[in-house]
Amino acid sequence: MDEVVVVGYGTRKRSHNTGAISKLAGKDVAGIQAPRVDDALAGKLSGVLIQNQSGEPGADPKIQIRAASSVTGDSGPLIVVDGYPISGNLATVNPNDIQSLEVLKDAASAAIYGSRGANGVILITTKKGVPGKPSFSYNAYASTSNKYRSNILPTGAEWANTVDENINNGTFDVSEVDAGLLDLRMDFFRNSPTQSVEDWLFQTGSAMSHDFSASGGSDNARYFASVGYQNTEGVVRTQNFERINARLNVDADLNERFKTGLSFNGFISDRAQLAHGINARTSKEFICAYWSRWN
């Protein structure tokens, strides 16, 4: 604990550094089987708050290190992958490609990143090739999800039976209601779709993920390549998140003094979500698709 550790632009004892830097191994991140890296970090690192602001597939959670630094501004940390700051979020990184993950939480540790590191820094080191015979790895998982409670909204026919029962026992006083209007409304309820409204809105969600990687090389040249695919269907109909990742890391030793390397990361995603406004196209198509089943 008395060892000297280089931090930012200075040094400090290791015992004074334990609360400033948190580290997580790549196998611990991939072992969660979460669709995103930030989802896998929830509850794993002290001083790091990860809050899901939406249950939609592919939604970005809110990440705060230690505390929010701004009331109205962005409090998200700087993300650095293999030494290079990225403009995107952690969704661009495949959890199975991570070798290690570190979080810099104090000013001294994040000093070399300047004002960009004011909200903390997340350092990600991806896997590299290892000299030896080519090795291959394949990882896959599948899961299902459901809404957390059963239907609480009655169907039209169920509501009609409830009204009839309460009229017969005197709970509902309809003496001042026009009989023709009452019969008309009750006919609407009785002849409405027998399927619950919630069954039309919700479904059994599903998620599947496939990851394939290859690594190998010689003492002078090493490579690591991976490709991943993920598809998540949300519990709410029309909500979907699809992602494809590809990574290539190549390292070469030109001589005893010079080394070179190549890092490539490709990311493409498609996210579908139910619009909140009735005038939005997605919401219109959703309503029309299900309204056609009523007639």
Same domain, 184 and 285: no
Would residue 82 count as lying in a domain? yes
pLDDT band of 226, cuts 50, 70, 90: very high
The arrangement of strands across the sheet holding 259-272 comes to: 132-145, 205-217, 221-233, 240-253, 259-272
Specify the number of domains making up the chain: 3
Same domain, 228 and 99: no
Same domain, 78 and 61: yes
pLDDT band of 148, cuts 50, 70, 90: confident
Return contacts of 67-76, CB within 8 angstroms, 24+ apart.
69/118, 69/119, 74/119, 75/119, 76/119
Range of the domain at 25: 4-126
Q: What is the pLDDT of residue 134?
A: 92
Same domain, 286 and 140: yes
Same domain, 9 and 63: yes
Q: What is the pLDDT of residue 10?
A: 46
Please provide the average confidence, as pLDDT, over all residues in the chain.
78
Same domain, 39 and 137: no
Whether 213 contacts 140, CB under 8 Å: no
Same domain, 40 and 177: no
Same domain, 138 and 283: yes
Q: What is the CATH number of the domain that holds 38?
A: 2.170.130.10
Return contacts of 192-197, CB within 8 angstroms, 24+ apart.
192/155, 192/156, 192/157, 192/294, 193/155, 193/156, 193/293, 193/294, 194/155, 194/157, 195/155, 196/151, 196/153, 196/154, 196/155, 197/153, 197/155
Q: What is the pLDDT of residue 82?
A: 87
Q: What is the pLDDT of residue 89?
A: 80
Quick check: 293 pLDDT over 60? no
- Where b means 16+ CB within 10 Å and e means fewer, 171-189 reads eeeeeeeeeeeeeeebeeb
Would residue 151 count as lying in a domain? no
Q: What is the pLDDT of residue 69?
A: 61
Whether 1 contacts 69, CB under 8 Å: no
Same domain, 163 and 259: no
Same domain, 222 and 183: no
Same domain, 273 and 138: yes
Quick check: 63 pLDDT over 60? yes
Q: What is the pLDDT of residues 247-282, one digit of tens each?
A: 999 999 988 889 898 889 888 888 887 655 444 344
User: What percentage of residues in the chain have a pLDDT greater than 90?
Assistant: 16
Same domain, 237 and 183: no
